[in-house]
Structure 1
Amino acid sequence: MNISNFIEELKRRNVFKVAVAYAIAGWLIIQIVTVIEAPLNIPDWFDTVVIVLVGIGFPLTLIFAWAFELTPEGIKKSKEVEITESVTDRTGKKLNGVIISVLSIALFFVIVERIFFAKASILEDAGAIAKIETASIAVLPFVNMSSDTENEYFSDGLSEELLNALAKVEDMQVAGRTSSFKFKGQNENLTEIGSELGVANILEGSVRKSGNRLRITAQLIRVSDGFHIWSETYDREFTVDNIFDIQEEISLHVMEELKVRLLPEEEAQLANRPTMDIEAYNAFLEATQREITYQPEDLEYAIQKYKEAIRLDPSFAEAYARLALAYNNLHQNGNISADETKVLMRENAEMAISLDKDLGKAHQALADYYGFEFQFEKREETLKKAVELAPNDASIRMDYRSALGRNNKVQESRAQLFKAYELDPLSPDISNSYARHLADVENRYYEAMDIIDRNIKRTPDYNGSYYSKAWLLRDVPYGELDNAFTFAYEGHLQNPDDMDFMWMVSDIARDLNMLNMAEYFGKKISKTYPENHAGPRNLLRTSQTRRDFETTKRIVDELSETYGERTVEFFVIDLLAYHYERGEFLEGIDLLKRRFPDFLDEPGKEITNDDHRTAAIFHLTLADKAGKTEEVEMIADRICEYKDKRLAEMEESGHIEIYNELDVKLWCQIATEQYDEAVAAMEKFYFELNSKANYPLIITSEIPFFRIKESQNFEEFEKKIYADLGMMRKNVVQFLKEKDEWEEEWEEEGN
């Protein structure tokens, strides 16, 4: 066959045009399938099948174009059509139109895909993109090369101040102090350290202080390949000016190498000298390294050192700020009165701000004071300012998270927790809070337990992890109250004066209906820490479980005298049973309105979150007893509407968990007097889902549950619960007797 004649025949039969049209159309189909696969949740294999089919179709289409011709009478074999009768010219012109049309569609698709789908992809992956584009670094503790080991605080403090300087730069992501210092004295691979901290670069070095000479070596290392990007040795006289000069030079070199552009105000911050007194700075650094344990004796020592720094330099703003925060921590963990704490916090925080209005720690300290005074909006506003001034300070973000949560800004609060965890993932306190959020809010129990176990392994002397493990073991999905108790009690034996362990032992004893033991440890907390509110709060919970609501009221009144009248707002739910039992239903409603003023300012408002639902069901219970029938029906409708909304959201997300489903249905059942169904749901919670924490407390003191006692099945349900608690209680008593820890006064009548 003559090749040129064959090619001419291919052209005449429009095979080339068909090939071009098919290729463009096939490419367009593949592109469309690739783009829509993820948004429409199409299985991964689908685009592969489409590509294979398009590929198989190409040669078949060419064969078809050669063998057949489209005529006015329909499709005929090409050999049956005389050349004089052929309409391939007209078909060719139509194919030209098809090719132009398909090309136009393809061009339009490319434009749309690049502008809209690419933008959506960027938005969906904004966190990952931001992480890549942000210069990230961890400052490892500089090694103390001095002959005097007591200079350790100086090298650690210098490292922390370098970290703090870099953390003030908005375009830097700086791993938190706790996470970075986890690797102190360890010879771990830098790549592994970088991976664990989520950073691309590491700054490390050494400090040698001898007489009046100071030698500091610093080196910046890229995590991916261990390449030393920059290094420098500074050998200077030991003066405060030289210390800050070195810190500034190191910071500027780091940012220059990481291509970070400084804003003018950030340059000014780096050049700032917090003090010009070397002894004041020494005392300050020593205080910062002692207070990190949160142990009362270390906090008291740090307070004395901060005071010393202020005495040596009365213009030392950060010393005032850290002193204010130390007083708050001592009140939370030790034994300093609320009145004294408030005065000391305010005067030191305000002094810090007057000396340096751009100091994030100063605003954090003032915000803590506002929290003491129940000025929650001002607290949130002040912490927002603190975050803006110190965006990489994980502790400020944790405080901001708490403030947002208190003001019912749930998603914003969650975002701050997750950012704090990203900044300081190895902080035992932050990772502990993160784990508890996963378990309590997102029902990711096993992931939470994994984080807690890693915390215990990594930081065995951090008591909060043991507390959280016991807390998690007692409820969904474990329900092991006896094992949770033994775990908490072992911790108590190792740390007999630790407030958290005493609280947890008391809490689980209360879960097991061992109320004498619960009261014993509540009193022990009060005796050990008489100025702290933890003891009275613990005893309050025991009084509720005993249905001794007069004692509950007395404790709240005493706390209000100490902390101020607004203290009552924290105990509204606890006080409602007191008013309910006394027939003071309208007084109970008024009290509830103090806690939820914006939601309960008018009855029947739409419920938008779980806190509102809680307020609504308690309001309904009191309104029902007060004879407000129309109001009760209106509130019940809102509660059930919220149930329908939450179930629809779960269904839409494709993630319905039985716990959440039962929970939203339960409140509607109680509101609409479906008491048998409510009891069945509670039985499922307890025996199938292992939700066993707080049961005696809930059914004896939370007034909505008083309603379900009208169910004929309630008494049998209650017997089953107390029988199960009795079996676990026997295991606990046996454990305590084997440890020779059992006290006869803990014996309960009828147990």
Structure 2
Amino acid sequence: MRFNAFLKECQDKEVFKKLSIYAVFSWLAIQVISTLQQPMGLSPRVVTYALILLLIGFPVYIFYIWKFQIAPIHKKHMAEAGSLPSKRGFFGSKTPFQRYYFLSIFIVSCLITLVLFFVVRNNFFKNQVPNEAGLAGSITLKNTDKIGVLKFENNTGKDTLDIVGKMAADWITHGITQKDIAQVITPQVVEDYSNIIKSQLSGSKKNTVLQDYFKPAQIIIGNFFLNGNRLIFQSSITDGKLDKTLISLDPVECDSNNPLDCIEELKQRLLGFLITAEEKDTDIEETPPKYAAYETFLEAKNAAVYDDSTLELIEKAIEIDPKYFEPRLFQLTYYYDQLQYRKADSILKIITKNFSSNPRQQNIVQMYSSLLEGNNREVYRHLKREYDLAPFELNTNATMLTVGLQYINRPEIIDTVFQEIDMKDSDAENCFYCSNRVYIKTYSDLALKRFDSVIKYASALYRYNDQEYFLKPLAVAYLAKGKDPLELLTAPGLRLSGEQKSDFLLYTGIQSLVIQGEAASSVYFKQLLKMPEGEAADFDIARAYYYSKAYIKALEQFEKLKEKDPEDLVVIGFLANIHALQDNPAAAKEELELLNSLRGEYQFGQIDYLFSRYYAVIGDKDQVFNYLKRAVAAGYLYTSSKYQYDPHFKPYLNTPEFKAILTYWH
């Protein structure tokens, strides 16, 4: 019997199905035991014991499958076929299938024995050595990530305040263990071990017990003294040998009648340092944040979608610790992303006044200053410095992708940045930055005409809730590949509101205008205009009429929109275009004058861009590029519906002047 035939027979006899049941059961059992171990007060080794039993049980289960499920049927079939061997062994008829089967049991048993050897050695015998004094119960010597906390020295000259030193150590220990940061060696444990060792050895070893017998990675030390009626606490964290100070915290001061105020403040600072010590970008902060602030801010950072509740968490973190720089940065980013530039600028001024004392903070502040000035080249330059420090930090990486594509239009650099972070195990459905990274990746692939890559990435996400925006790059890729984007609307599980559907149809129609032409694009505009009343967005309806060249109806729709918001720049721009297309230059001029009068701060070239579209409508090439250059120089972004994706500029896409616009910030 060949091995392939053996595998096929195993599949026919459902051996693999039965083995998978055992594997799933084992995995679930380990998960349940791991979850219940701590709440039930069980030994941490209970998980190890369960794993050992399940590993031993696996070859036994394989034999059980043979003896009681396969062998009787196997024997019956062979007897019916008249091929039952005359010689029989303990395990039944010695057939080729049986020989392969038991060879497999032997191999699996050998592998499991090897695994069991390492499991038992690492969990029951490793790191156990006798102590120097030959005590009956050996002291375990481990060089781990334990943290030692020493009693705070009382330098007040008042013995009655000795209890404050113990209280400080206990409070800090409680905070570390409560947050599950590390195992803690307390002053009491050190004292107990010192007493044991002193009873066995001559001389005192108390001063070296912590380092010699527990070998902590870090040790927290401190003292306190009086200044009038004010208690002042000092604390630092050293390495495990007490020969190198990792950080000295700023002194903490409080009323001598309320020492717990100092102790709580000190605890928050110490926990903040410990929890962030392993992060590569810790040096963004001048001082460690309070742990409560860090914990609150972490919840905000991990939010699937950034909304008002996320902002509340960020503001709460700032309230807990006003010196915490990163939440203020996220607050600034939130308002910038919400297009509330004036609010973002005011927050930037607060940050500039109260922070920016370290080089990294200065660089970030300068980057945001450049953002609000529309100087995209400087934005990229400052962000590149930040990215070089923390290329794997999700927020920085996602921002680098956005700036690389939408601010300076360099799609060729996107792949390198995107691949810095391995996405295979990421939860893009529930991770804001993860999905944002993929979205930028799809548009860089569109710019590079890698349509299969767009389909691969966008197809995996567009049906998830709140990620319908992946439909847009997917639609462009479908158009480029000659596929029908309308097929996407029938995908199982896709749920679109009326406005989401009209937005998709409008965008697809506009991109079809750019890629295919008027005849092909009319299909999408017609379907949008046939939607039931009240479903499609009014702005989408107005633009659908415009791009369908139904200018009378478009004019009517845009006039209604202008009545609702007389200062809507985009609506005014469309009205100027429509009047020009209807050969009404006086009305067009009136709209342009209104548009010009509305110039203000934080527009980043939007009005100049609308002027360039107007001149594209009337065919004035010189003015098209005059205003386009003004727009891009003021920071107007290269988004998914602007510049090369805007049908107004279709006649100019292949001109040197337009290519210069696309590479303006290079």
The interval holding the TM-score normalised by the smaller chain is: 0.3 to 0.5
Point out which structure has higher relative CO (alpha carbons under 8 A, 6+ apart).
1
TM-score, normalised with respect to structure 1: 0.36
Structure having the larger proportion of residues in helix: 1
